[in-house]
Structure 1
């Protein structure tokens, strides 16, 4: 026997011993089931601890059965032997008296894989009716059944038209009030969003008075002030903003922020940002008062 023959002999022996070390078992949790009933199929595998096995997943063809769910369990290893198990919940829609199922497990190797199949398990079809009588017996029923009437489209159209007219009249009557409530709620939501973001940025700026944070805080503040007053705060300088609001303290606060942005100087910003927030809160309250007065005069 040449070298090639010896090689194939040892290869066959190794595969044979390997196959003997992997034991696969499969069985249904019940021997019969009705059409479409949920049934469990248990798949177990015992193999050496050093071996790597993979159970089939939903991509495997279970026909004529249909896979509903797969449930896996934690592996157990004792004395170098590992036990893996899983339950496959399936349904049978075949009208055959019995269906059979055998599932594989795959041993992964470096360059290839080996497939081991479980024993073939049988699932019998359980019939709900044993037989149908040749002469069906019908039960007497003298209860009158209601006759379906034609839908009255004209009446439905009149009712729908009346509802539309009523809603339109109410909308015209209360349009100004509804619009005022909408503006008020929009301003409240805008303030909540601004205040939350502003406090977050101001807190970060107090911890780290960096140029980028200072620029973001002042930009957020100017943007909100512009939206609530309608004045071009984004375009104005610090002195122009202070003159417009007639508040010299605002100029000092904005000037301190500008020194961080343009001169890179450090400053205690907590008092400054709190003051600017209160200025914004005042303008927000004035906006709500303006909306309320407009609703009262209309």
Structure 2
């Protein structure tokens, strides 16, 4: 592009040097260097003037409206005086974004006097727009293609990473704020589910013992109670004898029912009121469950 501009300027200077005017004559000339243009492409418009040296002449600057073109840059050649005449020349680099087939431009040279100004315009010059694609008319029919086109789907991994990162951040914040409450809720929920399962099965044992006080059934009920009580108290109830269980302070109220159950289980005796001893054990377990719930709520 720079070599092309340099060749244009050499051509312009050669044209200016070939002019021969009288000492008092003012002449303003100009025009496009190129014959055609593309939309948005730089084109050159040259402007030259010959006038007496005592005059003051001004060419358009970047603030001037070059419509329908837009100003991009300019190259100004210093004034030369030869044979009693002053020579000025400038090359403007302009662009067009219009779609007219032929576009026109002229530029003014302003002579400054003491009281007024004189404007002399360059001749009106034209340049042709080169089309890269033909213009589609209103009557052109478009061919419809409804065939299915397979498009490769690309998974948006960055978005996934942002979502996962956001979720992890939210979880961390929730744990920091509500961590203790969440842990407490899970403990209470697990404790409640375990007790509800125990209560259903143990109540069924009590009902069966009321109808049939069988020593083997009483033994199975006792083993089941010890297994649950071990999970509740975090103590080895399953391997403890009744005497060892009564060694804990909180189990003092079990002395009578446990001794009665031992006589039935180990002595193979039938006691029609054995179900009442298991009811006392069931009430004891209910009380211990409620106490554990309160301890968890208090943070113990």
Which of 1 and 2 has greater Rg? 2
TM-score scaled to structure 2, two decimals?
A: 0.46
TM-score scaled to structure 1, two decimals?
A: 0.46
